[in-house]
Amino acid sequence: MLHSSDLPPGLDERIATDGTTTVRYATADKLADSLPGADALLVWDFTIGDVVRDSWASVDALRWVHTASAGVDRLIFDEMRASDIMITNSRGVFDTAMAEYVLGLVLAYAKDLPRTLRQQDRGEWRHRETETIGDKTAVVVGGGPIGARTAELLRAVGMRVHLVGRRARPGVLAAEELTGLLGDTDYLVLAAPLTEQTRGMVNADLLGRLPGHARVINVGRGPLIVEKDLVAALEAGTVAGAALDVFETEPLPADSRLWTLPNVIVSPHMSGDVIGWRQSLVGLFADNLTRYRNGEPLRNVVDKNHGYVRDTSPQGAR
């Protein structure tokens, strides 16, 4: 069962069956009509909003939902949480791509590349000095594989990095320690899932604890940040810049102040989308589908009470 607005590359070949399995393709407006009798659902288009919740009344045999994204916040609602339906995600596909994107943003700020490009467009020749990153401190919020890979790359270029997760474990600080780190932070990087605990975590109070030269980078989920508070801090100059790949509302509305602030880098939710990413997503789903058919443990099973995969060990299909 696939929910999608377009056909993923190579999917038909990877899920070829012996004729005993029916595969239905549905767009958002047809999902409710396609769900009755379906026991598995692939959510290919992760920008679908609340369509699964809105189609919940049509669910009668569903046992497993797989999403072609790392985040699962749009799939976890009260009825889903209370059910015995298993959710798996695409954890592991985007780690390196997103970490490289964050490193690129750090370098773009340190080397003042946005201003260089603006001045090039205007034909302006203005010499200036830029920053080094080897003596800078980054706080990476999100103790999962994306955050861990990001921390690894930032350390590789000489940065001091604190990795913060929900709970303390080797190499990861507990969320309660975040506020104590902010005063010495040059780059605050958000790579956390969206949960009840993380929604709105970057608010006026937290932003006020950052030094004035700090930059905020968000590749996690838009609602991690209270957007109006960030805009206010940027306009007041109490935060030096923000590089945002995700937003409270996507696409970012044309009248958003974020488009025009000179110290903001806006990208359209693309930090993990490198050449070949769709094939990797299809490969992960195809492997899990084989496991599901064979009654074997699935990869990337999400803890629905926490909103993310708590470990990497496969869990049994039910």
Point out the residues that are catalytic.
221, 250, 269
Helix, strand, or coil (residue 43) = strand
Q: Residue 30 and residue 43: Cα distance in Å, rounded?
A: 13
DSSP code for 184:
G
The answer to whether 110 and 240 have CB atoms below 8 angstroms apart is: no
Structure tokens at 281: 């997503």
Cis omega (within 30 of 0) on the bond before 251?
A: yes
Q: Specify the DSSP element, H or E, that contains 108.
A: helix 95-110
Question: Which of left, alpha, beta for 205 (phi over 0: left; psi -120 to 50: alpha)?
Answer: alpha
Q: Residue 176 and residue 169: Cα distance in Å, rounded?
A: 13
Residue 256 φ/ψ, nearest 5 degrees = -65, 135
Sort 109 into a burial class: Cβ within 10 Å, 0-12 / 13-18 / 19+. Answer: buried
Structure tokens at 295: 């009654």
